[in-house]
Amino acid sequence: MSDDFDCSDIDNHLGKTMDFSPLREAIAPNDIRRWVHAMHYPNLAHFDPGHAEASVWGRLVAPQSFAIATDDGHGAAPACVGKIANSHLLFGGDEWWFYGPRIEPGDVITNTRIPFDYTVKQTGFGPTCFQRGDNNYSNQKGEEIARQRSTSIRYRAAAGGDNVKTDDFEEPEWTDEALEEMEERRFAWVRMLHDLGNKERWWDDVAVGDQLPERVFGPHSIASFATEWRAYIVNTWGTLDLRKQDLEGLGFTREMAGYENDPDMLKVNPFLTDGAYYGPSRGHLFAKYARRIGMPRGYGYGASMGSWVTDYLSGWAGQHGMVVHSVANYRGPALTGDVTIQTAEVTEKSVDADGRHLIHVKHLMKNQKGTTMCTGSAEVALPKKTG
């Protein structure tokens, strides 16, 4: 390990439960509706009263992806502990285990966060720390909802700006005809959700080699990223009883640290606490700061990308199915002006020790140029026909 990239302070935090920022109020119906809108997930069961009442749940419940919306750090907190001097951070991926209970209005979610491990490798950024940490989400009844094992990528700040792809500074131009075609492709997946409705997708009817329906959405924009940002509950003033953080103490440069979600500054000058404009998150919305950490222009949130994976698979599974485990490795960001295209292939069918009938898939996320954004695998439980 190079002398100017010392990660040894992380060892002081591994395996130790962190503090967290509890919700001040229970989950509200509009928290869920805001989330599915922001995540481009038009599943009527999660926002329309009539469809929610007619659903298998008989009421409004959140999609599986919603747990991360209740955290104060998009799930990255336990993967960002320990000081690495003069460093930047990007979200590198997620692994999820889902246990069954759904989040619904009236719930109060607790996240028990434990730093897990880290390793240092040589990448295009030079010495790079891949750090993992666990988020354990449960409700007020003590029911375990999900575990999220997040991966952060931490690297020397100087390496960020040195690795920007200048060819990607300009957004792509979309003709009216191209946008109309993209709209038709986007609606095809929405139509799949409507056609499945409250019905079962049977395990018996799925075969190895089957291709899941394509999901397309975008083009992404500063407006769409800002909509995503506001759907994470913490990103509205006063919603969480915020813990005190020291971002500079973690090694963030001063311009990328600031007072994001600082509980003391929130009472003095709340404008400075909004990460959309100041601090480590502002690179998402401002190209000037995106380029300082290695991104060519405004880019989307890793936590949102993980939610897109969960929504894609659970939307296909339907109300009687469930994503039980997934792995998502982020290879490239969603940039302003780009379109996201999701596909997946069935690779295996199995029955696990608990008797669940599982569909194994390999999933892929690319943009309109064919650039890989995310790869991974998942297991989805589906109902089995009787007889």
Interstrand relation of 87-98 and 144-156 (parallel, antiparallel or unpaired): antiparallel
Which pairs from 127-132 meet CB under 8 Å and 24+ separation?
127/1, 127/2, 127/5, 127/155, 127/156, 128/153, 128/154, 128/155, 129/5, 129/7, 129/10, 129/84, 129/87, 129/153, 129/154, 129/155, 130/92, 131/10, 131/79, 131/80, 131/81, 131/82, 132/79
Q: What angle do CA 331, 334, 335 make, to 5 degrees?
A: 120
Per-residue pLDDT, 384:
97
Instruction: Kindly state the average pLDDT of the residues 289-293.
Output: 83
> Is residue 11 exposed (0-12), middle (13-18) or buried (19+ Cβ within 10 Å)?
exposed
Instruction: Kindly state the average pLDDT of the residues 88-94.
Output: 87
Give the whole-angstrom CA distance, residue 38 versus residue 68.
Answer: 13
Per-residue pLDDT, 26:
97
In this structure, of 74-83, 180-189, 316-325, 363-372, the range with the lowest mean pLDDT score is 74-83
Question: Do 102 and 65 touch, CB atoms closer than 8 A?
Answer: no
Strand partners of residue 119: 130
Rounded (to 5) percent helix, strand, coil in the chain: 30, 25, 40
Please state, rounded to an integer, the average pLDDT across all residues of the chain: 92
Per-residue pLDDT, 145:
98
Classify 8-174+184-381 by CATH class: alpha beta
Q: How confident is the model at residue 231 (pLDDT cuts 50, 70, 90)?
A: very high
Give the whole-angstrom CA distance, residue 17 versus residue 99.
Answer: 21
Supply the pTM of this predicted model: 0.94
Give the whole-angstrom CA distance, residue 11 versus residue 316.
Answer: 41
Residue 345 has pLDDT above 80, yes or no: yes
Instruction: Kindly state the average pLDDT of the residues 92-110.
Output: 96
Among 157-161, 253-257, 292-296, 355-359, the range of highest mean pLDDT = 355-359
Give the whole-angstrom CA distance, residue 270 versus residue 274.
Answer: 7
DSSP SS3 for 105 = coil
Strand partners of residue 88: 155
The tokens for 200 are 């079962």
Per-residue pLDDT, 263:
92
The pLDDT tens digits of the residues spanning 56-72 come to 999 999 999 999 999 99
* R_g of the chain, CA atoms, integer Å: 21
Cα–Cα distances in angstroms (integers) from residue 249 to residues 107, 254, 334, in the given order: 34, 10, 29
> Is residue 293 exposed (0-12), middle (13-18) or buried (19+ Cβ within 10 Å)?
buried
Percent of the chain residues topping a pLDDT of 70: 98
DSSP state of 169: S
Residue 3 has pLDDT above 70, yes or no: no
Residue 1 has pLDDT above 50, yes or no: no
Give the whole-angstrom CA distance, residue 248 versus residue 264.
Answer: 16
Per-residue pLDDT, 158:
80
Residue 278 has pLDDT above 90, yes or no: no
Per-residue pLDDT, 283:
83
Give the whole-angstrom CA distance, residue 327 versus residue 363.
Answer: 9
Per-residue pLDDT, 33:
98
In this structure, of 5-9, 76-80, 256-260, 361-365, the range with the lowest mean pLDDT score is 256-260
* Phi, psi angle pair for 377, to nearest 5°: -140, 165
Give the whole-angstrom CA distance, residue 263 versus residue 266.
Answer: 5
Give the whole-angstrom CA distance, residue 340 versus residue 374.
Answer: 10
- As a dihedral over the C-alpha atoms of residue 52, residue 55, residue 56, residue 60, rounded to 10 degrees, the angle is 0
Residue 167 CB neighbour total at 10 angstroms: 7
Instruction: Kindly state the average pLDDT of the residues 213-241.
Output: 95
Q: CB neighbours of 103 closer than 8 A, spacing ≥ 6?
A: 27, 32, 61, 62, 66, 67, 70, 109, 139, 145
Residue 134 has pLDDT above 50, yes or no: yes
The tokens for 240 are 């969480």
Domains of the chain, by residue range, sit at 8-174+184-381
Per-residue pLDDT, 304:
94
